[in-house]
């Protein structure tokens, strides 16, 4: 059984965030400022072993790798940001590639969405736009990734480097992208990437799925996450929305990654490691209730049972360190290493 966890690199300052959000902004800025919004609301969440770390520090990433191995995790899926040749938040992965540290497996997940001021309710105020100029840009993108694909630590499925696409349906020339990437891989004498797209089934099978069946190698469902985003946007516009929406964790996981029958692509299970995005959205946020280590163990065990039926058994965890969304496995002051132990127990379940 293989398990990967999404990994957020926004724990170091960059000039763009300084300009958009204020000097020294990182994910910790929102985490530290969080407040309890109802009785029993556990905010702010305070990190445990690692403290308020900076991902430019090699020792931090080494320790993260040790903790991930403690949880039974094979590697991190680094969120990857590519805007027509412009990269953002790339310092941790670039440092990881340059130093060879840590030795933990890794892959990339392209967060192909525009950056906006959605956290403040200004969804239409775009900070950097996600655009798709065409074949030449896809070629540049592949070549920028090739160094990582060639790394011995890069996670492979069926011998091919795994690459996740956050919103494949929004890539207008997905067929061109895949064709170019396959050509580039062949030119380099390498196997083409194993592409897994994230799919939203909230309103039924996504319209792009049939055409993508020959382009992608698998999907992972993301429906409940998209639903949460819609709730955030709607509640921002409601007068007097005084408290966050509170949803039982069990209900979230039941609807987050439902096993779909009759799909033309393999579907990999996704496990949500909690949810509380009030550090970002304050009273317009959504909070999972009843989330505890034993619930995480049960969710991971169920995903493991599902994955055993797949040709390539793989469980994907969201996430390792999304502190502002309240989904993480890293130790906090309240639970310590219990999240890591819960994950390990679920992955080992018979």
pLDDT, average across residues 58-64: 98
Residue that wins the pLDDT comparison between 3 and 253: 3
- Beta partners for residue 198, in sequence order: 220
pLDDT of residue 43: 97
Question: Tens of pLDDT along 216-275?
Answer: 999 998 877 666 766 666 666 565 566 888 888 988 887 777 888 889 999 999 999 999
208, 169 contact by CB (below 8 A): yes
The beta-strand segments (E) located in the chain are 2-7, 75-83, 86-88, 105-110, 115-117, 122-128, 156-157, 160-165, 194-199, 218-221, 245-248, 267-268, 270-272, 286-289, 314-318, 321-322, 327-328
pLDDT of residue 241: 60
pLDDT of residue 99: 97
DSSP string for residues in 276-334:
B-HHHHGGG-EEEES--HHHHHHHHHHHHHHHTTSSS-EEEEE-SEEGGGTEE-S-BTT
Least confident of 83-92, 281-290, 322-331: 281-290
Inter-helix orientation angle 293-307/249-256, to 10°: 20
d(CA 50, CA 28): 12
Q: What is the DSSP letter of 264?
A: S
Closest CA to 191 of 150, 223, 220, 227: 150
pLDDT of residue 240: 53
Closest CA to 333 of 62, 42, 28: 42
Question: Tens of pLDDT along 154-185?
Answer: 999 999 999 999 999 999 999 999 999 999 99
pLDDT of residue 173: 95
In the chain, the domains with their CATH numbers are: 2-348 (3.20.20.80)
d(CA 188, CA 143): 10
Please compute, for residue 166, the number of CA atoms within 13 A of its CA located in the half-sphere on the CB side: 18
Residue 142: φ, ψ to 5°: -60, -45
pLDDT of residue 186: 98
215 pLDDT higher than 70:
yes
């Amino acid at each position: 059984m293989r398990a990967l966890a999404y990994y957020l690199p926004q724990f170091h300052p960059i000039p763009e965030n300084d300009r958009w959000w204020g000097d020294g902004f990182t994910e910790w800025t929102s985490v530290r400022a969080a407040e309890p919004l109802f009785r029993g609301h556990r905010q702010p969440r305070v990190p445990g072993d690692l403290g308020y770390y900076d991902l430019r520090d090699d020792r931090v990433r080494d320790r993260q790798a040790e903790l991930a191995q403690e949880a039974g995790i094979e590697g991190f899926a680094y969120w990857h940001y590519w805007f027509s040749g412009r990269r953002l938040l790339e310092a941790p992965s670039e440092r990881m590639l340059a130093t060879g540290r840590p030795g933990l497996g890794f892959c990339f997940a392209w967060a192909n969405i525009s950056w906006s001021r959605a956290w403040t309710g200004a969804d239409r105020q775009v900070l950097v736009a996600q655009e798709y100029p065409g074949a030449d840009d896809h070629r540049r993108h592949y070549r920028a990734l090739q160094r990582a694909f060639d790394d011995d630590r890069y996670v492979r499925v069926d011998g091919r480097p795994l690459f996740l696409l956050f919103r494949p349906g929004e890539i207008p020339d997905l067929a061109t992208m895949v064709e170019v990437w396959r050509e580039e891989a062949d030119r380099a004498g390498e196997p083409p990437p194993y592409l897994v797209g994230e799919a939203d089934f909230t309103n039924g099978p996504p319209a792009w799925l049939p055409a993508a069946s020959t382009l992608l190698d698998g999907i992972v469902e993301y429906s409940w996450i998209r639903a949460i985003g819609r709730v955030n946007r709607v509640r921002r516009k409601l007068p007097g929305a005084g408290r966050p929406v509170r949803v039982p964790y069990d209900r979230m996981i039941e609807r987050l990654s439902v096993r779909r029958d009759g799909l033309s692509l393999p579907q990999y299970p996704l496990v949500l490691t909690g949810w509380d995005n009030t550090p970002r959205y304050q009273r317009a946020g959504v909070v999972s209730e009843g989330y505890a280590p034993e619930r995480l163990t049960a969710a991971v065990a169920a995903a493991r049972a599902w994955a055993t039926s797949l040709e390539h058994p793989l469980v994907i965890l969201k996430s390792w360190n999304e502190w502002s969304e309240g989904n993480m496995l890293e130790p906090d002051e309240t639970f310590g290493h219990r999240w890591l132990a819960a994950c390990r127990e679920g992955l080992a379940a018979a």
